[in-house]
Amino acid sequence: MAKILDGKKAAEMFRIHLQEKFLQLQQAPCLAIIHCNDPASLSYLKGRKKILASLNAILKEFIIDSQMTPEDLKVLIQNLNQDKSIDGIMIDRPLPAGFNEEEMISYIDPSKDIDGYTPSCLGNLVCNHAQYLACTPAAAIALLDFYKIPLEGKDVVVIGRSVNVGKPLALMLLNRNATVTIAHSKTNNLAKITKKADIIFVCVGKANFLKKEQISRKSILIDIGINFDENGKLCGDVAKECYTYAKAYSPVPGGVGVMTNLILMNNLLLAHQHHQ
């Protein structure tokens, strides 16, 4: 029977530890979130609001309405950079048409980039000097750490090469002394690569992408995908047929996603401490 890597269990332990640290602060940390009322963004925002409230942290919302231009958003970000009451800034995506997401993110002060996506933060990750780790990749690794699954010396495959997840994840794994292979849509004979891996991270954003015939009995599967199948049911990038065959797996829902917002809160704490 495959071991379930329960993100809810890991998140609860992480939350308790984090709450203790927040209670020791003399002043509440403040997070500024910029979003455009996109339904997906609002769903994530609801979860963040709940966690922020449990930690007695402050949230300031800034909405991109139909009248806002890219230049207006740039000015807003620059103002938040200068606002000493703001510890962290994040931009929820997707942004409206006409807004270059990477450009907008690049305007964030790296000391307030608790998402870890500015060019400066990603560059520091390459040098293993990152102040804030990108939340989703860090959450995936934190889940393994909770279950005491070592990374050093392990053969690891990352399927996906996005700048948000796949690339920073691969760098984090290299910094943890794993032997990393990055696979993607142009990879030939994927099964030949994945069957040899000890741990497979899947972050391609395609429902049920990884199939049973592409893994082995020793595979530990970390599913980072959030999708909906043909029946409109929430699912990951890993087909459920893999669950009974693999050595261990993180489920969707209830796996990596549960940890992500807590990593964000930990980055907020670090930013607050940095600005004191």
Q: Is residue 75 a part of any domain in this protein?
A: yes
Tell me what the mean pLDDT of segment 198-206 comes to: 97
| 227 and 159 together in one domain | yes
| 108 and 167 together in one domain | no
| 151 and 231 together in one domain | yes
Tell me what the mean pLDDT of segment 153-180 comes to: 97
Residues contacting residue 197 through CB under 8 Å, at least 6 positions apart: 155, 156, 157, 181, 219
Q: Encoding tokens for residue 119?
A: 């060019």
Distance between CA 267 and CA 273 in Å, rounded? 10
Q: Answer yes or no: is pLDDT of 39 > 80.
A: no
Q: Answer yes or no: is pLDDT of 210 > 90.
A: yes
Q: Answer yes or no: is pLDDT of 43 > 80.
A: no
pLDDT of residue 230: 85
Q: Is residue 216 a part of any domain in this protein?
A: yes
| 110 and 139 together in one domain | no
Q: Is residue 152 a part of any domain in this protein?
A: yes
The domain of 191 spans: 135-257
Distance between CA 243 and CA 193 in Å, rounded? 19
Q: Report the percent of the chain where pLDDT is more than 90.
A: 89
Q: Answer yes or no: is pLDDT of 242 > 90.
A: yes
| 106 and 164 together in one domain | no
What kind and span of H or E run contains 267?
A: helix 256-275
List, for residues 71-117, the tens digit of each pLDDT value.
999 999 999 999 999 999 999 988 999 999 999 999 999 999 999 99
CATH number, residue 94: 3.40.50.10860
Q: Is residue 153 a part of any domain in this protein?
A: yes
What kind and span of H or E run contains 82?
A: helix 70-82
| 96 and 145 together in one domain | no
| 39 and 101 together in one domain | yes
Specify the number of domains making up the chain.
Answer: 2
Domain boundary among 81, 114, 147: 114
Q: Answer yes or no: is pLDDT of 119 > 80.
A: yes
pLDDT of residue 20: 95
List, for residues 249-263, the tens digit of each pLDDT value.
999 999 999 999 999
b/e map of 102-121 (b: 16 or more CB within 10 Å)?
A: eebbbbbbbbbbbbbbbebb
CATH number, residue 162: 3.40.50.720
Torsion angle of C-alpha atoms 232, 227, 14, 46, degrees rounded to 10: -60
Q: Is residue 3 a part of any domain in this protein?
A: no
| 84 and 193 together in one domain | no
Q: Tell me if 62 sits within 8 A of 32, measured CB to CB.
A: yes
| 71 and 164 together in one domain | no
| 156 and 187 together in one domain | yes
